[in-house]
Chain A
Amino acid sequence: DQQVKQNSPSLSVQEGRISILNCDYTNSMFDYFLWYKKYPAEGPTFLISISSIKDKNEDGRFTVFLNKSAKHLSLHIVPSQPGDSAVYFCAASLRDFGNEKLTFGTGTRLTIIP
């Protein structure tokens, strides 16, 4: 039973445009959400996070939106750059329950077209 789902295995976006990556979750107890970026042969790198008490968090070109009622979050990258080409993983945890283990989605491969 996959509790975090990324239904788009891949996404191609032109350089300079907005990239939108989506993630859905089923466990309403999740209270902390993260996005990780992964290059080939490297480990995931933390990108941005959001607590369930917020609906938006912004860091430079990256913004994460959380819609708790829809159990949906999205990552917006604007403007997209060639270096953004990577696999993006959505993850969730039960932080308020003292359980920080991450539950990941299957990832979305983002390709930025120059």
Chain B
Amino acid sequence: EAGVTQFPSHSVIEKGQTVTLRCDPISGHDNLYWYRRVMGKEIKFLLHFVKESKQDESGMPNNRFLAERTGGTYSTLKVQPAELEDSGVYFCASSQDLLAASTDTQYFGPGTRLTVL
């Protein structure tokens, strides 16, 4: 079974540009999460999708960040325009629904390292 995949693995852009990160969750996982780790600090929650619906977006830093999950499959996270403080590693995670499965463990992708210059 394929794990969570993320693309690209690394992105370097200039301040003011736009970047779109993609996450493909494990097949059949309704829950999809985005997290971010900045400068070796803690991994911080950004938002949570259940299928195509945003369940919780309380961690989104500001309106420069836009996440979508059309069709309830893969998700994209767009940063427009990017600022220096957006640099960090963006992780995606997916899990099954706890009511439908014996575990709701979140499985993480390898992350996208975003560098804003």
Contact = CB atoms under 8 A, between A and B. Distances in A.
Partners in one complex: yes
Interface of A: 2, 4, 36, 41-46, 49, 89, 91, 95, 99-107
Nearest to A45: B108
Contact of B48 (A44, A49, A100): A100
B74 interface: no
B31 interface: yes
A109 B48 CA distance: 28
A2 B42 CA distance: 9
A26 B47 CA distance: 22
6 contacts: A4-B42, A95-B104, A100-B31, A102-B33, A102-B35, A106-B41
Contacts of B56: 99, 101
B25 interface: no
Contact of A100 (B41, B42, B104): B104
Nearest to B105: A46
A107 B37 CA distance: 11
The 3 A-B residue pairs with the shortest CB-CB distance, nearest first, are A43-B108, A104-B43, A101-B45
B108 A101 contact: no
Contacts of B95: 100
A103 B110 contact: no
Interface of B: 4, 31, 33, 35, 40-45, 48, 56, 59, 91, 93, 95, 98, 104-111
Contacts of A102: 33, 35, 43, 45, 106
A100 B105 CA distance: 9
A107 B38 CA distance: 13
Contacts of A44: 43, 91, 108
A43 B111 contact: yes
Contacts of B111: 42-43
A100 B106 contact: yes
The residue among A36, A43, A44, A103 with the most chain B CB atoms within 10 A of its own CB is A43
